[in-house]
Structure 1
Amino acid sequence: MSGTLLQAWQAVANHPLFWVGVTLAAYQLGVALYQRTKLAVFHPVLVSTAVLVLVILAAGQDYAHYREAVQPLQVLLGPATVALAVPLYMNFRRIRSYFWPVLICLLVGGTLATVLAVLLAWLLGAEPMIMMTMAPKSVTSPIAMLVAEQIGGVAALAAVFVMFTGVLGAIFGPVLLRLCGVDHPAAWGMAMGLTAHAVGTSRALEEGEEAGAFSALAMSLMGTATALLLPLAVSLWMVFQG
């Protein structure tokens, strides 16, 4: 009987839709906990990640198997990211009126988010490979992984740093902004988008449409600037060091 149950379990666990369902259920659990408690530690991304790790380990599977099984969900990441253009369009006039503040915020905030991460890693004695992997931590995973490879980092590890940055930004970002007295929707959204990418943008949308629009704008600009300028900056630095 136990052998039959084991075979049945393996058949269920190896079915691609099983892991899609587990992923959606884990995220819904996180959403329910977050809506009920309003505690940052129950952010849906954090809760769903912990639940999925436990389920994958309990099922005796590995990440490669899980990633292959949830390919349908990964395909939807593109349209979901493009959908962030909707609040941008709805608030286009207001965004245009803040052109110079947005540009200055991007240059100052984006530079500090990158330089401080590398500097902190250097002060803690990290190897150059780790520093280059951490440099693009504040942009979305596809861009971060590509840039990390170009500048001498590790793509897979860059994705991990991106995930932690987004989750920690969504948890502690609102608290720090309130402590600093930042309550303007545009400034609130820019800060979250620059530092916590898509996860921060989803948190900014909870504050309002304007904050979400500026966060989506900041995330897009930060990703573009990182992809174009960070490899160039690292190349110039290596030439200067050589």
Structure 2
Amino acid sequence: MKNSLLFLICFIASNCFSQSINDYKAVIIPVKYEFQKSENQYRLQTKTKSYLQTAGMTGFYAIETIPAEFNDRCKLLYIDVVEDKAFLTTKVFLLFKDCNGKIIYQSPAGKSKEKQFDSAYTEALNEAFKFVADLNYKYNGGSSNTSSITTTYSASTAAVAASPVLNVPVTTENATAESNLNVLYAQSTTYGYQLIDSEPKVIMKLYKTSNPSSFMAVKGTIQGVLVAKENQWFFEYYQNDQLISEKISVKF
């Protein structure tokens, strides 16, 4: 009886996840997963793209230019491979997230007892992707993800408006730069967020502080802070002893 109930729960969950994944037309692959020491270590990104194709899904690396038909980033999924530490066993599972960082699907763990890292990660990744293949992915035109995204963004906007604001003094002598008014989209990370553009390309990394309306921020070689003022976000940093305040349009 317990086994039958478990099977029924898994069957229902798999079908729900399948329907959700079917709302998205492609998957973006990061150049480096958190447990990797270098980009595409053990060729895991290359293998991820190959396994996605085997599962019937279109994959793009985060650093490559994608066709215009895929420019709506909220019609794309963002994959992450997460290592689950285990004694004498390599275990990884897959996370598929939407443009707001919400988990759309999490696979069961793929496992390997191979001793060589290259073989172990490859085998574990392959096993995890077998669960994705079982979802029988087929893009349905994105019939249901638009309303979900709108609701999520509205809630986050209200949270920002209600949160305390860190006021950084900016005098008339300060230079103000508003050259980057294109919308940037926040993806959750272990340290906070990364802000990506529509390519998608990582533009800025945000590190959490004790204040929800203030982040330590890194943009290329520039280090500063991202702060909320009057329901708008500003990237502030010093250049030649002058405070630069750059307005940033962000969707969390």
TM-score (norm 1): 0.29
Higher normalized strand content (fraction of residues): 2
Compute the TM-score of the two structures, normalised by the length of structure 2: 0.28
Which structure shows the higher helix fraction? 1
